[in-house]
Amino acid sequence: MSTDTATSTSSATAALAADRPSMVTAKQLSRATATRQRRSAHAKMWIGATCALLVILPVALANVLPLPGPDQQQLTARLLPPLTGGHLLGTDQLGRDLLSRILHGGQVSLTVGVLAVVVSGIIGIVAGSAAGFLGGWVDSAVSRLLEAQLSLPLLMMLLLVVALFGSSIPVITFVIAVAQWPEVARLTRSLVLVEREKPYVAAARVLGLHRIAILVRHVLPNVIKRATVVVLLLLAQAVLLESALSYLGAGPQRPFATWGRIISDGQDFVTTSWWLVTMPGLVIAILVVGVNLFGDGLRDRVRRRKGSDT
Amino acid sequence: MFRYLARRITQSALTVFLTVSGVFFLIRLAPGDPAAALSSPVATAAELDRVRAQFGLDKPLINQYWIFIKHLFTGDLGTSFSFQSSALDVVLSRLPYTITLAVTSILLTTVIAVPLGVWMARNADTAREFGANVVTIAAQSMPDFWSGIMLLTIFAVLIPVLPAAGFAGWDGLVLPTVTVAILQIALISRMVRRDMVANLNAPYLVVARARGLSNGALTWRYAMRNSAIPVLTALGTRFAAMLNGVVVVEVVFGWPGVGSLVVRALETRDYPLITATVLVTAALAVLVQLLVDLAYPLLDPRVRLGKGATS
C-alpha cells in the first residue's frame, strides 16, 4: 500500500527520470543544433519529395490521364488562357492543350535526364574509384581530364556535337552524361582516397585479395551511398541542361517537344499569352527544386551518419 | 615561380590546343561529307572542290590535321561563311560584350553572395537560415533562360522601365546581368556558407573569441581570411564558366556577344566560326583560371607556387 502511494506521488518525476536521466529538458533538446539539423534535413526531404512527385507522377501517368493528345490541334481554341474550355493550363498558338504537351514532353525530358544520370554515374564512379584506388598514371590521366573539362567551353561543345550528330535521344543523353561525369568522378575519387588508407583495406591485402577485388567488394560498398546522393543532385542539373539545349533548338524533336522547346515556342507570344512560357518553366522549376531539396536533405543525413564533410 | 609559370602556361596552351583539335576531329567524325559541312549550305560542286583543295580533304586525316595546325599557329582559322571575313576577327569583335556581361555578373554575384553566405553561416541551422537555404536552392533550380524571359516580361513589357533586348545603352546590361547572377549567387553563397561554417567552428576561432574580439572581426578578419582561397577559386571557376556559359542568356536578350554568335554559327553550320569561338573562349577561360591560381599567394602567404604544389 505504502509503496503504491510513494510511486503515485513521485510518478511524474520518476517517469521523467526513466526517460531522460539528466537535467536536459525536452525543450533544450529540441533546440539543440543536432535536432535542428535533423529536422531541417527531414523538412527538406519531405518538401523535396512532394515537389518532385507533384511533377513526376502526372508525367508518368500522362498516357492514362484524360487529356487531349499533345499534338492534337484545335484551331478554334487557340491561345486560351488557363482554366478555360476544359484546358487546365490553356492552349498554345495551334490550339494544343498545354498541360498535355508539358506532360508528354516531360516524359522525354525525364527519360533523357534519368538515362544521362545513370550513364554519367557509372562513368564517374568507375573512373573516380579507379583513379583514387589505383593511383599512378590512372589517377593523373583522370585528374587531368577533370581539370581540362572545367576550363572547356562545355555548352558550346555540346551544341556542336548535337549539331553534328543530330538531336536524337541517344546523342543528347550521351552529351549530358559527358557534361556531368566529372562531378561524380571527383567526389568518388576523394572518398576512395580516404577509404583506401583504412585498416580493412590493408587487412584484405594481407589476405591476398587482388586489388580490383578489394576495390569492388570492399571499398566501393563504403562509398557508393554518398556517390549516389550526388548522382541524384545531378538529375536536377541534367533536366536543366536538357531544357537549355532544347531551348536553343538542340533538344530531342521526337516523339514530343520537350520543356525547353515548349518555352522557346511560347516566347513569341509571351506579351499576350503569359502561360505558354510561365507554366512549363514553373514545372521545370518545381521538379528541379524538389530533386535538389530531396538530395540536399539526403546529403545532410548521410553526411552526419558518416561524420565527415563532403 | 617562373618555372611554375612556364609549366602552367604550357599546360594551359596544351588544354586549349587539345580542345581545338577535338573540334577538328569532331567535325570530321560526323556523318556526312566534311566538305559540305565546311562550306556554305548552298555551295556548288565547284565550290565544294575548292573547299576540298583548301582543307586538303582529299589527303589522309593526319595530313589534314597537320595543315590545320599550321593554319592555327598563323591565327588563320578560315573565313566565316555568314560574315565573309576572318572567323577569328568576328569572334574577337564580339568578345568585349561577353566579357562585359560576365564581369558585371561576377561583380554583382560577389557583392551579394559573399555577405549572404556569411550571414547564412553565422545563422546556421536556424529557421531564418532554413528559409534562405530554400530560396537559394530555388534560385539554382530555375532554368536561366526561363527566369530571363520572366524578368524581361515583367521589367520590359509589363512595367517598361528597362530595354528589352540588345545593347542600346548601359541600362540594357541590367536584366542580362541579373539573370546570369541569380544562379551564380545561389551557387556561391551556398559554397561560402559551407566553408564558413567549418571555419567558424574551428578551434582557432574559439581562442580568438576568448581574447575578446568582436563578432565582425572574428568573421571577416579570421574566418573569412581562411575561406578566401576556396571562395576565390569558386568565383574564378564560375567566371570562367560564365565566359562560355552565358550562351543561353545572350540568346534570350539578343545580347551581341560570343554566345549568341555561336548559336547562329551552329544554325548556319559555320564551322570556321565555331572553331574560332571554341579557341577564343577556351583560351580565355584557361587564362582566368591561371590568374586565379597566381592570386593564391597574395591571399595566403603559406602558399608557395610551384613548390611541391599538388592539384
Residue B40 covered by a domain? no
CB atoms within 10 A of CB B114: 20
Closest CA relative to residue A149, chosen from B266, B240, B143, B95: B240
Q: Which own/partner pairs from B195-204 qualify as long-range (CB within 8 Å, at least 24 positions apart)?
A: B195/B121, B195/B227, B195/B230, B195/B231, B196/B117, B196/B118, B196/B121, B196/B122, B196/B223, B196/B224, B196/B227, B197/B121, B197/B124, B198/A309, B199/B223, B199/B224, B199/B226, B199/B227, B200/B121, B200/B122, B200/B124, B202/B226
CATH number at residue B225: 1.10.3720.10
The stretch B46-73 carries a mean pLDDT of 77
The answer to whether residue B191 sits within a structural domain is yes
Q: Specify the DSSP element, H or E, that contains A223.
A: helix A220-247
Are A248 and B248 inside 8 Å of each other by CB? yes
In a domain, B135, yes or no: yes
Q: Measure CB to CB from residue A156 to each of B31, B146, B262 and give the nearest one.
A: B262
From chain B, pick out residues whose CB is under 8 angstroms from the CB of A156.
Answer: 244, 247, 262, 274, 277-278, 281
CB A111 within 8 A of CB A86: no
| Interatomic CA distance for residues A243 and A264, integer angstroms | 10
Report yes or no: B30 at the A interface, CB cutoff 8 Å: yes
For chain A, the first-to-last Cα distance in angstroms comes to 60
160-179 in chain B: CB under 8 A from chain A = none
Higher per-residue pLDDT: A24 or B311: A24
ipTM of this complex? 0.82
Q: Are residues B245 and A270, on separate chains, in Cβ contact within 8 Å?
A: no
Report if residue B168 sits inside a domain. Answer: yes
What one-letter code names the amino acid at A267? Q
Rounded to the nearest angstrom, the minimum Cα separation between B204 and chain A is 19
Using an 8 Å CB-CB cutoff, list chain A residues near B130.
Answer: 40, 43
pTM for this predicted structure: 0.83
Is residue B16 one of the residues assigned to a domain? Answer: no
Point out the least confidently predicted range of A249-258, B15-24, B107-116, B120-129.
A249-258
* Chain B contact set for A280 (CB, 8 A): 146
Give the C-alpha separation, A18 to A14, whole Å.
6
Is B80 a domain residue?
no
Q: Which of A55, A140, A139, A130 is nearest to A99 (CA)?
A: A55
Distance from CA of A278 to the nearest CA of B (A): 7
Give the mean pLDDT of chain B.
82
Mutate to test the interface with A, among B134, B147, B199 (most CBs of A within 10 A): B134
B122 is a domain residue: yes
pLDDT band at residue B307, thresholds of 50, 70 and 90? Answer: low
Residue the block writes with cell 488562357: A81
Confidence of residue B152 (pLDDT cuts 50, 70, 90): confident
Contact A155 B145 (CB under 8 A): no
Q: Does B240 touch chain A (CB under 8 A)?
A: yes
Average pLDDT in the B68-96 region? Answer: 82
| Residue B46 within a domain | no
Q: Which domain holds residue B140?
A: 99-269
* C-beta atoms of B140 and A270 within 8 A: no
Closest residue, chain B, to A237 (C-alpha): B141
Look at residue A116 in the predicted model and tell me its pLDDT: 92
Could you give the number of structural domains in chain B? 1
Nearest Cα neighbor of A121 from A51, A211, A216, A225 is: A225
Rounded CA-CA distance A226/A25 in Å is: 34
The maximal CA–CA distance of chain A, rounded, in angstroms, is: 92
The Cα B265–Cα B275 span in angstroms is 10
Contact: A248, B130; criterion CB under 8 Å: no
Q: Locate B114 and state its grid cell.
A: 559573399
Q: How confident is the model at residue A9 (pLDDT cuts 50, 70, 90)?
A: very low
In this predicted structure, what is the pLDDT of residue B185? 93
Shortest Cα distance, chain B CAs vs residue A13, angstroms: 31
> Cβ–Cβ contacts within 10 Å for residue A30, how many?
10
Do B140 and A293 make contact, defined as CB atoms within 8 angstroms? no
Has residue B112 got a pLDDT over 90?
Answer: yes
Taking only Cα atoms into account, the Rg of chain B, rounded to an integer number of angstroms, comes to: 24
CB contact under 8 A, B244 and A285: no
Q: Which of A36, A277, A281 sits opposite B125 (nearest CB)?
A: A36
